[in-house]
């Protein structure tokens, strides 16, 4: 089932898609600047924009003077183009083992409403029912936005976005769960299912640090270690849909077993669960929670510090391996684990510098705090991208 929006976009040509993408991600922006950045003629830009303005998706802002564009000092007023934020609405939901986080956004992925719902049972059937309930709640909310164009669902692990199937999510304990089919049959709304880190990367590409970047990576640190890659103008999925699985590089001691069933994965040392397990073991405090481990480390407890140092070492090595292979200009460190970033930042940066090859060591590492609301917003951003591009994000499997 392709994504059939309740309100179709009047985009008949690739030029129209390119023009709307520029307005959406870089607006407000004058026509002349769109022409410069896309290589299209101003006449082609005007032709592409006209039906979007008529349909209410794009509008002209009030004209403003511009700097003189020739030696005579003569300049003409410019009316920058911008999208009409409330022309459509989108729902994004992030799935975790213990909670569902849902948001409704406008056309620019601006969050309008947020709902958090606890999960008592992470089994697929139970989660699908809770997903449907949360989606219906969000759909019934009164928001100042247009028709719903689709629902994005973000899940950790190996996700077949084309068919809406979670092939394997170690954190959820799922294998081969047809989320799009199961949820779509309950809601009768287009569903897009995607890997959560890749969704976060799409949000950064269209509405965050990636707007002006030629290439970047998003590394998320929390219950799992993830990585999204933006290279050559696209968020990379790879031939098998699992590109960027930084958390499963074999850089940790081989005696440690990962939630994926393999040994020596980065997550066995660097995830928040691994740091907590290590701190509990070395301090012999079985009742310790993650907040307590962070507090101990900040207070200088050598055992807690050692757990974070070890995590920082492995994360830095993993990031350097990724940068050496792919070469992004920027790496964004994000996720629920950034609250304790200062505890492993020094060791992580040192390990990165030691292993980054040549000029790759100049890659910027930037902290960008994200909440679970942002992960849900990422799911909504993937729907917006597919809507603009006219892509079928969901096709029923013929297997």
Residues in the chain where the model's pLDDT stays below 70: 1-6, 63-77, 336-339, 392-399
Residue 2: the pLDDT is: 42
Q: Among residues 342, 377, 301, which one has the least CA distance to residue 114?
A: 377
What DSSP line would sit under 195-206, residue for residue? Answer: EHHHHHHHHHHH
Residue 71: the pLDDT is: 47
Would you kindly state where each structural domain of the chain is located, as residue ranges? 14-83, 87-201+373-389, 211-370
Pull the structure tokens for residue 80. 């920058």
Per CATH, 14-83 and 87-201+373-389 having the same topology is answered no
Write the CB contacts of 193 (distance below 8 Å, at least 6 apart in sequence).
Answer: 152, 153, 155, 159, 161, 164, 165, 166, 179, 180, 394
What's the CATH number for 87-201+373-389? Answer: 3.30.420.40
In whole angstroms, give the CA distance from residue 266 to residue 11.
44
Helix (H, G, I), strand (E, B) or coil at 51: helix
Q: Among residues 333, 142, 58, which one has the least CA distance to residue 220?
A: 333
Helix (H) or strand (E) holding 91: strand 89-95
What's the CATH number for 211-370? Answer: 3.30.420.40
Residue 336: the pLDDT is: 65
In whole angstroms, give the CA distance from residue 222 to residue 98.
14
In whole angstroms, give the CA distance from residue 380 to residue 374.
10
CB burial of residue 21 (10 Å; 0-12, 13-18, 19+): middle
Pull the structure tokens for residue 295. 């507090």
Residue 174: the pLDDT is: 96
Q: For residue range 89-146, what is the model confidence (pLDDT) as tens digits?
A: 999 999 999 999 999 999 999 999 999 999 999 999 999 999 999 999 999 888 888 8
Helix (H) or strand (E) holding 288: none
Query: How far is C-alpha 166 from the chain's CA centre?
Result: 17
How many of the other CB atoms lie within 10 Å of CB of 367? 11
Residue 53: the pLDDT is: 95
What's the CATH number for 14-83? Answer: 1.10.10.10
Length of the chain: 399
Q: For residue range 59-77, what is the model confidence (pLDDT) as tens digits?
A: 998 766 654 444 444 556 6
In whole angstroms, give the CA distance from residue 194 to residue 391.
14
Residue 144: the pLDDT is: 82
């Amino acid at each position: 089932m392709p994504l059939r929006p309740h309100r179709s976009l009047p985009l008949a040509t690739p030029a129209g898609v390119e023009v709307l993408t520029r307005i959406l991600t870089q607006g407000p922006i004058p026509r002349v600047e769109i022409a410069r950045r896309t290589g299209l003629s101003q006449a082609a830009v005007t032709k592409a924009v006209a039906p979007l303005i008529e349909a209410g998706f794009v509008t002209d802002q009030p004209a403003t003077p511009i700097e003189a564009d020739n030696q005579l000092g003569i300049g003409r007023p410019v009316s920058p183009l911008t999208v009409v934020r409330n022309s459509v609405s989108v729902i994004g939901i992030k799935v975790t083992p213990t909670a569902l986080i849902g948001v409704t956004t406008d056309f620019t992925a601006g969050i309008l409403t947020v709902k958090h719902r606890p999960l008592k049972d992470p089994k697929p059937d139970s989660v699908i029912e809770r997903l449907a309930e949360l989606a219906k709640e969000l759909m019934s909310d009164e928001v100042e936005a247009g028709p719903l164009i689709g629902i994005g669902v973000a899940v950790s692990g190996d996700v077949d976005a084309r068919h809406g199937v979670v092939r394997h999510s170690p954190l959820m304990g799922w294998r081969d769960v047809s989320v799009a089919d199961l949820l779509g049959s309950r809601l009768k709304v287009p569903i897009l299912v995607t890997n959560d880190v890749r969704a976060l990367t799409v949000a950064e590409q269209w509405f965050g640090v990636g707007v002006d970047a030629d290439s970047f990576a998003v590394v998320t640190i929390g219950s799992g270690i993830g990585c999204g890659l933006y290279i050559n103008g696209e968020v990379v999925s790879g031939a098998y849909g699992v590109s960027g699985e930084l958390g499963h590089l074999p850089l940790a001691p081989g005696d440690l077993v990962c939630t994926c069933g393999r040994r020596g994965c980065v997550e066995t040392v660097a995830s928040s669960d691994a740091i907590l397990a290590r701190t509990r073991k070395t301090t012999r405090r079985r009742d310790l929670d993650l907040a307590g481990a962070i507090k101990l480390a900040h207070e200088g407890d050598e055992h807690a510090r050692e757990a974070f140092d070890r995590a920082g070492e492995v994360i830095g090595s993993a990031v350097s391996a990724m940068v050496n292979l792919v070469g992004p200009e920027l790496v964004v460190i994000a996720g629920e684990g950034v609250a304790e970033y200062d505890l492993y930042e020094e060791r992580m940066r040192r390990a990165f510098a030691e292993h980054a090859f040549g000029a790759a060591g100049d890659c910027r590492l930037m902290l960008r705090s994200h909440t679970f609301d942002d992960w849900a917003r990422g799911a909504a951003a993937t729907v917006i991208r597919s809507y603009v591009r006219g892509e079928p994000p969901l096709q029923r499997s013929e297997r």
